[in-house]
Structure 1
Amino acid sequence: MKLSIVIPLLNEEESLDELHDWIASVMQSNHFLYEVIFIDDGSTDDSWKVIEKLAAENPSVKGIRFRKNFGKSQALHAGFKKAGGDIVITMDADLQDNPEEIPRMIALMEEERYDIVAGWKKKRYDSVIMKNIPSKIFNWAARKTSGVALHDFNCGLKAFRREVIKTIEVSGEMHRYIPVLAKNAGFLRIGEKVVQHQARKYGKTKFGADRFIKGFLDLITIWFVSKFSKRPMHLFGALGFLMFLIGTAFAIYLGIDKLFIHPRGRLLTDRPEFFISLTAMIIGTQLFLAGFLGEIVVRSRKGRPRYFIAEDLNL
């Protein structure tokens, strides 16, 4: 069995040597055949120089450097594309994920025949107000919306079977929802393991409070994509039909009222129901058009690169 450890990073030069040595020690003590793929997501410090040094010293170390910061999802996508292991591990580069959890996660995966084993940072060493409480709210919403019963969608430490990461497409900011993407692709055996979380040793976190806002927006996006990405007309067409039906109902009411009940009453254009009817019909028509355009896009879209690699090592 070969392992691929995929590590996206941004400005983590201080932690890379220690992380590499820690991973190498765990891999050697467990007799794993392995590769470590560092993806430098546009760092402005000397992270890439450290990766070059590590790659020169250890052929199991491989590197990818982006021309600029494209985001964690794009970094993971690049790493997944190059990963050659039977099991792929993702983890962060800040030393908060413990490499010693990797053998235990693999053992659980083999024992239970899981497609994915996700880490759960049950005891965290982060700010309670800034991270812990928002994270609990976010994870609760993600469980309810996605149907994937994980406690910690944000944990970077996860283990995947090769066929999972070669099947799914990680784009935008969807790295939090890789288990959901996998579930939508038919990989239903998703497990979870409590893992040791550690306080950040070097530098400062790259994530602010805005990541939770983005997380909730991405949650809405993935809900929509999961249900309607291949059939947008089912959503927009249904909403359009409903709005047009409401507009038509008001128009019929106004017509009957004007012709048979109050023929000498106010002008139709003086009544609020007229504008409700007109607005509902226009919105309904626009929703229908949005559905048709969505169907056209779905049928004609072609893959486009979401990032550009400046150079790579040992790949």
Structure 2
Amino acid sequence: MIQPQWLRTFEALVELGNFTRAAERLDLTQAAVSQHIKHLESRLGPLLLRQSRKLELTPAGHALLDYQRELQAADQRLQQRLAGDDATRGELSLITPGSIGLAIYPHLLALQREAPGLTIRHRFGPTAEVIDAVLDNRAELGLATRRPDDPRLSVSLFTREALELVVPAGERVDGWDDLVRLGFIDHPDGHDMATRLLSRCFPGNPGIRRLPCHGFTNQIGLILAPVAEGLGFSVLPRFAREAFAKSEAIRVVKGLPAVVDSLWLLHRAEWPLSARASRAVEWLSVRVVGASSV
């Protein structure tokens, strides 16, 4: 039998693509991670092609990753059966994009305070990762920014979220020249979101790439920090702006044409949601969806 720790190490390495980051996540040394992979390869043959900037799975590596995910899914089903269909106990796993994740996380903590027997595992990820995680049974619930077309998934509209142009509190934006003066604070979805919103707000503009870039971060909760310091503007979803602590230091430019995204709730269609997941959806619908307006 393959050691479970070796499998967890292999999965973390595949997900993160880096021995150092895998070691940090697992609280191991890099040498221990390497040793675990050597043990696996001594039994199964080469699992990884170690290229200069990325790791690529061999066919044996893909087979082992599928095996690990099947074990996880079986373990999750076993735990759910042993816990019974109890809405107040057991594990609830979900994965969401960053903006809506910031909005729902405090409400998930409130749910767990009310039902301490729950263990909530909430991960942030882009929509492609959300869909894969739900399909692979690594998460029971997911929220996605595009509607997937896969018969294995049950998909329903969760809420809608507008894109916003956010500037420092003391700034005005009357035209494109004001954006040039302020400069853009970029993020992984920044160019896409800014292009979609600004093309409607300022038709015929030269494009987001022509604006000076005054910063970049891939942390959703930090995008507005430089904006609050007066270092530029950004475009991001409303829930991310609402979660920013220094609301007095920023301002949403009003009166712009609306660009609104839908957020879709996903779970596997072949079996019903657990009582825990159903309760969480109802809980969030009242507190997040019910309180939102676009």
- Which is richer in strand? 2
TM-score using structure 1 length: 0.26
Max Rg structure: 1
- Which is richer in helix? 1
